[in-house]
Amino acid sequence: MSNSSTLDLKSLYGYLLDHSLRDDPLLQQLREETARDPLARMQIAPEQGQFMALLVKLIGAKNIIEVGTFTGYSSLCMARALPENGYLLCCDIDEQWTDIARRYWEQAGVAHKIELQLAPAADTLQARIDAGHHDRFDLAFIDADKENYGRYYEQCLQLIRPNGLIIFDNMLWSGRVADPGVNDTDTRALREMNKFLLNDQRVDISLLPMADGITLARKR
Ligand code: CA
Ligand 1 centroid, distance to 179 Cα (angstroms):
19
Residue 29 has pLDDT above 80, yes or no: yes
The pLDDT of residue 3 is 66
Residue 112 has pLDDT above 70, yes or no: yes
Please, which pLDDT band fits residue 9 given cuts at 50, 70 and 90?
A: confident
Ligand 1 centroid, distance to 36 Cα (angstroms):
17
The pLDDT of residue 148 is 98
Give the C-alpha separation, 142 to 145, whole Å: 9
| Domain regions of the chain by residue span | 13-219
What is residue 156's DSSP assignment?
Answer: H
Residue 10 has pLDDT above 90, yes or no: no
Ligand 1 centroid, distance to 131 Cα (angstroms):
29
Q: Where are the beta strands (DSSP E) in 56-159?
A: 63-67, 87-92, 114-118, 137-142
Summary mean pLDDT of the chain: 96
Give the C-alpha separation, 64 to 133, whole Å: 12
Ligand 1 centroid, distance to 109 Cα (angstroms):
24
Provide the whole-model pTM.
0.96
Ligand 1 centroid, distance to 214 Cα (angstroms):
9
Give the C-alpha separation, 86 to 95, whole Å: 24
Average pLDDT over residues 145-172: 98
Q: Does domain 13-219 have CATH number 3.40.50.150?
A: yes
Residue 7 has pLDDT above 70, yes or no: yes
Ligand 1 centroid, distance to 215 Cα (angstroms):
12
Asked whether 102 and 115 are in contact (CB, 8 A), the reply is no
Residue 1 has pLDDT above 70, yes or no: no
Ligand 1 centroid, distance to 69 Cα (angstroms):
9
Residue 49 has pLDDT above 80, yes or no: yes
The pLDDT of residue 81 is 98
Ligand 1 centroid, distance to 135 Cα (angstroms):
25
Ligand 1 centroid, distance to 46 Cα (angstroms):
12
